[in-house]
């Protein structure tokens, strides 16, 4: 079993509750597959997150739109 990267725990600790609610399941998915990181896209009224092969495992890339 892959351990949750510190970056993921730190991101959740610092994220607004509504963003953390969206991102947390995707972080868990990333940990489960252990291969890719997470891309978070923040829009003015919502957040989206997805496991991305473009982001190395254990890292989170955040884009503001």
39 contact partners, CB below 8 Å, separation of at least 6: 49, 50, 51, 52, 54, 55, 60, 61, 63
Task: Please state, in angstroms and rounded to a whole number, the distance separating the CA atoms of residues 50 and 38.
Answer: 6
pLDDT, tens digit, for every residue of 3-51? 899 999 999 999 999 999 999 999 999 999 999 999 999 999 999 999 9
Task: Please state, in angstroms and rounded to a whole number, the distance separating the CA atoms of residues 63 and 31.
Answer: 21
- Confidence (pTM): 0.93
48 contact partners, CB below 8 Å, separation of at least 6: 22, 40, 41
């Amino acid at each position: 079993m892959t351990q949750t990267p510190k970056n993921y725990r730190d991101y959740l600790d610092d994220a607004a509750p509504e963003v953390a609610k969206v991102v947390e399941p995707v972080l868990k998915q990333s940990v489960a597959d252990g291969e890719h990181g997470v891309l978070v896209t923040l829009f003015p009224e919502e957040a989206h997150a997805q496991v991305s092969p473009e982001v190395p495992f254990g890292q989170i890339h955040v884009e503001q739109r």
